[in-house]
Amino acid sequence: MAGLFDGAVKRLDKAAEHAKIDSEAVERLKHPKATLEVSVPVRMDDGSLSIFTGYRVHHDNTRGPTKGGIRFHPQVSLDEVKALAFWMTFKCAVTNVPFGGGKGGVVCNPKELSHLEVERLSRSYIQQMADFIGPDVDIPAPDVYTNARIMGWMMDEYSKIHRRYQPAVITGKPIPLGGSLGREDATGRGGYYCVEELAKLRGWNRSDIRVAVQGFGNAGQTIARLLHQSGFRIVAVSDSQGGIHNDVGFDVPSLIQNKNETRHLKAVYCNGSVCEEVDADTITNEQLLALDVDVLVPAALEDQITGDNVDDVKADVIVELANGPTTPDADDVLFNRGVLTIPDILANAGGVTVSYFEWTQNKQGYYWPLESVQQRLQSMMSREFAAVYDVMEQHKVDMRTAAYIHAMNRIGEAIEAQGTKRYFANGGHE
């Protein structure tokens, strides 16, 4: 059975048929530049020692230092981290951020760890990775089950090891520790800007557009809140425990308020601190994917829409806020049915874009106001959405392939600038 990384690489050859890229450059992109597996020792609260497994992958650094999140999750594997690093390379190239792709993770269940144990785990991971990361080498960020506080611990540990303050080594940090305004909601906001561009192209009456959001964490809450604010009808949301559905639509700020206060997703309407339950159907995450909606937003984990359930998907547009939520075989079915998928390497690129802004601010020692961050993000997302959409129409391919073509053209130019067979075999002449 092909792994997640093999599935990711398969999409390269399809896009390479249309991209202006040398075959040597394609071959280089099929192989991560470097992978590191480490033991992460942690002294537990009861005095015992636990050894966790940690990974970090540098996929490609042709266009700049590698960049990508660190996730704490029981199902982290080297195959998964390689695939996520691969996607980061293309995500950075799609938005023209001068980074390559990196990713990291620790096999653990942070829900079973105390706050002190999570801090020790975070610092121990950085101790093992201190020679593999750096402000001009590889810049981590938060991912699944990691957050700004954890990034602050990691930055502090790296700074201690190198005996100087190094805020640019990690992005997604707390604001007082060198974080950027606008980073917290950047992933969901970037996806929202993509939907807004599509709405303009298709002339949508926003109140008629029904949206379902699978995954009600940071990114899912943000895109739901912004779409609701813009007039879209959010008719279903779900978290890891299940979901709720009402075709009339929900008051999203009330859902967010109640979820963040109680840690449970419930169909409510809140007036100040008083929340009252409203009518809604209780559904599973699988049922949410099959709802009759106009826009489906997978914002949870990878491999949610597969060959087994793709025929149940009724949405006309899919906005991938999660990494890799659609498998390659499902992609083909959706495209043949005329479903538009705004791919993860574009739709969720707002996070890495504002991470780039944070890194730039750390390097400058000058910090931008929130309005500047959001304006720059909107400008970049809107520009690259339009560029990918044009490539899609020009080559008559699905939008994911178009995004890969767009990214590969940029990566290919960078690789070829260093010389390929065509250059060296012709005595230095192209």
Give CA–CA dist 11/31, Å, rounded: 14
Give CA–CA dist 319/112, Å, rounded: 32
Work out whether the CA dihedral 4, 85, 417, 349 comes out positive or negative.
positive
Active site positions, annotated: 103
Give CA–CA dist 207/232, Å, rounded: 5
Q: What is the 3-state secondary structure (H, E, C) of the chain?
A: CCCHHHHHHHHHHHHHCCCCCCHHHHHHHCCCCEEEEEEEEEECCCCCEEEEEEEEEEEECCCCCEEEEEEEECCCCHHHHHHHHHHHHHHHHHCCCCCEEEEEEEECCHHHCCHHHHHHHHHHHHHHHCCCCECCCEEEEECCCCCHHHHHHHHHHHHHHHCCCCHHHCCCCCHHHCCCCCCCCHHHHHHHHHHHHHHHHHCCCHHHCEEEEECCCHHHHHHHHHHHHHCCEEEEEEECCEEEECCCCCCHHHHHHHHHHHCCCCCEEEECCEEEECCCEEECHHHHHCCCCCEEEECCCCCCECCCCHHHCCCCEEECCCCCCECHHHHHHHHHCCCEEECHHHHCCHHHHHHHHHHHHHHHCCCCCHHHHHHHHHHHHHHHHHHHHHHHHHHCCCHHHHHHHHHHHHHHHHHHCCCCHHHHCCCCCC
Work out whether the CA dihedral 133, 408, 196, 305 comes out positive or negative.
negative
Work out whether the CA dihedral 284, 319, 195, 351 comes out positive or negative.
positive
Contact between 12 and 403 (Cβ < 8 Å): no
Work out whether the CA dihedral 327, 331, 332, 337 comes out positive or negative.
positive
